[in-house]
Amino acid sequence: MEYSEKVMEHFVNPHNVGKIDDADGVGEVGNAKCGDIMKMYLKIDDGIITDVKFNTYGCASAIATSSMATDLIKGQPISEALKLTNKAVVEALDGLPAVKIHCSVLAEQAIKAAVRDYYDKNGIEYDEAQFHFNEAHEHGVEE
């Protein structure tokens, strides 16, 4: 197993690490049993993600995908952020080892969870199907 230079770059010096105390939306996905948890904080202004921070417990690919995903949605409209797929994040990182692809799913889900939290807090209506995902991501484990 080998990580790309891009992955190592984002793992060693991850971008957007931290919390936003007055975040407009917060999403947390993953679980301790699987060994990865990602928590995403969004600051939203007029439908635009003006700031984003994350906290991640997990392996190098979990940290690198968090970093890359936050880079990709910063400054973007919510509609664009919701379109972000784990595949796009993996491509931006020049790939991940096959056994690590499941880690990248968390980043996509964390963004969606944070946006949903923003919608819920602000009474914005949305299509539930848009946020449908399996909490246990691709680990397929119980809990």
Partner 1 sequence: MKVYADNAATTKISDTALNAMMPCYKEIYGNPSSLHSVGQEAFHAVRDARAQIAEILNCKADEIYFTSGGSESDNWAIKGTAELMAKKGKKHIISTKFEHHAVLHTLKYLERRGFEITLLDVYENGIIRLDDLKNAIREDTALVTVMFANNEIGSVQPIREIGAICREKGVLFHTDAVQAVGHLPIDIEKDNIDMLSLSGHKFHGPKGVGALYCKNGIRLPNLIEGGAQERNRRAGTENVPGVVGMAAALKEAADHLEENSAKLTEIRNRVIDGLLKIPCSRVNGDRVQRLPGNVSMCFEGVEGESLLLYLDMVGIQASSGSACTSGSLDPSHVLLSIGLPHEVAHGSLRLSFCEDNTLEQADYIIEQVPPIIKRLRDMSPLWERLQKERGNV
Which sequence positions are flagged as catalytic? 34, 103
Cα distance between residue 107 and residue 9, in whole Å: 17
Cα distance between residue 140 and residue 45, in whole Å: 36
What length does the chain have?
Answer: 143
> What is the closest distance, in whole angstroms, from the C-beta atom of residue 130 to partner 1 in the complex?
24
Residues 94-113 that bind partner 1 (CB under 8 A): 99-100, 103
Which SS3 state, helix, strand or coil, does residue 135 take? Answer: coil
38 is a contact residue toward partner 1 (CB under 8 A): yes
Classify burial at 2, counting beta carbons within 10 Å of its beta carbon; exposed 0-12, middle 13-18, buried 19 or more.
Answer: exposed
41 is a contact residue toward partner 1 (CB under 8 A): no
> What is the closest distance, in whole angstroms, from the C-beta atom of residue 128 to partner 1 in the complex?
25
> What is the closest distance, in whole angstroms, from the C-beta atom of residue 71 to partner 1 in the complex?
16
71 is a contact residue toward partner 1 (CB under 8 A): no
Cα distance between residue 68 and residue 53, in whole Å: 11
Residues 7-26 that bind partner 1 (CB under 8 A): 11-12, 14, 17-18
Out of 49, 63, 111, 114, which residue is the one contacting partner 1 (CB under 8 A)?
A: 63
List the beta bridge partners of residue 34. none
Host H or E run for residue 121: helix 101-121
> What is the closest distance, in whole angstroms, from the C-beta atom of residue 47 to partner 1 in the complex?
27
Contact residues for partner 1 (CB under 8 A)? 1, 11-12, 14, 17-18, 28, 32-39, 55-63, 99-100, 103, 139, 141
